[in-house]
């Protein structure tokens, strides 16, 4: 029974693989709202280009926080941890990119949460592009009429690894007409994990079974 439990734990490890993205929840840097310049050092793990970005957190909407007057419910400000990132700071198009080591031929699932709000007189529109190795592979448009919360939408994108893959999110539409112009384009909870293949899990299970049988001898 003991070794059977170990085998089950090993299988569970496959279905809950570690997130390959560094600082995908934008918890770093810690602290209250901060405007961060473009470059590779301001948001750990990410390269920022196009303009500056800002990180904000639950604390900014609490009493004595920088944005408490916005009326935004603090708990709605992130979907993971206590901080999130605004890709539309200064109403400029911004790109954040990160290169991740992958296994060629392996399937991966990228998941992330995109958010906005109509608080502070904004239009609640966020426009994004997802780029994979420099190519735009998906577009996302969100509209949030709510004025007292930040509302997030979970999105995902599946792709096959090439050995080293660069994932980038770009806010777009800063030059659109007023009615389509993005105001807030938030992002949080970026995660990249390999998709477990039934054959791999089965092989691992057989390996575990072999281990059990060997240890029982």
> Which residue's CB is nearer to Ca ion, number 108 or number 186?
186
Residues in contact with Ca ion, counted by CB under 5 A, come to a total of 6
Q: Measured between alpha carbons, how far is 196 from 162 in angstroms, rounded to an integer?
A: 17
Q: Which stretch binds Ca ion (CB under 5 A): 79-87, 89-97, 108-116, 137-145?
A: 79-87
C-alpha–C-alpha distance, residues 143 and 151, integer Å = 9
Measured from the CB atom, is 155 or 181 closer to Ca ion? 155
Q: Which residue from 81, 194, 196, 205 is in contact with Ca ion, where contact means CB under 5 A?
A: 81
**Least Å from the CB of residue 120 to Ca ion:** 20
Where in 7-74 does DSSP place strands (E)? Answer: 34-36, 47-49, 53-57
**Minimum gap (Å) between residue 197 Cβ and Ca ion:** 29
**Contact with Ca ion (CB under 5 A): which of 17, 80, 92, 147?**
80
**Torsions phi, psi for 125 (to 5 deg):** -105, 135
Residue 188 interacts with Ca ion (CB under 5 A): yes or no: yes
Classify the phi-psi angles of 111: left when phi > 0, otherwise alpha if psi is within -120 to 50, otherwise beta: beta
| Least Cβ distance, residue 34 to Ca ion (angstroms) | 14
Kindly identify the residues of this chain, within the stretch 82-121, that bind Ca ion according to CB under 5 A.
Answer: 83
135-143: strand order across its sheet: 47-49, 95-101, 164-171, 125-132, 135-143
Chain residues that interact with Ca ion, rule: CB under 5 A = 25, 78, 80-81, 83, 188
């Amino acid at each position: 029974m003991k070794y059977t439990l170990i085998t089950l734990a090993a299988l569970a490890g496959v279905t809950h693989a570690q997130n390959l993205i560094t600082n995908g929840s934008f918890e770093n840097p810690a602290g209250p709202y901060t405007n961060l310049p473009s470059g590779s050092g301001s948001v750990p793990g990410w390269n920022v280009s196009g303009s500056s970005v800002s990180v904000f957190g639950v604390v900014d909407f609490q009493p004595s926080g920088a944005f408490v007057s916005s009326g935004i419910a603090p708990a709605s400000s992130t979907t993971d941890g206590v901080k999130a990132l605004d890709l539309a700071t200064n109403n400029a198009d911004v790109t954040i990119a990160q290169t991740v080591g992958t296994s060629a031929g392996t399937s991966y699932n990228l998941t992330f949460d995109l958010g906005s709000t109509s608080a502070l007189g904004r239009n609640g529109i966020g426009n994004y592009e997802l780029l994979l190795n420099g190519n735009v592979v998906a577009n996302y448009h969100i509209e949030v009429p709510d004025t007292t919360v930040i509302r997030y939408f979970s999105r995902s994108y599946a792709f096959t690894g090439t050995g080293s893959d660069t994932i980038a999110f770009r806010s777009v539409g800063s030059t659109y007409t007023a009615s389509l112009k993005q105001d807030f384009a938030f992002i949080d909870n970026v995660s990249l994990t390999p998709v477990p293949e039934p054959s791999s899990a089965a092989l691992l299970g057989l390996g575990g079974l072999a281990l059990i049988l060997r240890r029982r001898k």
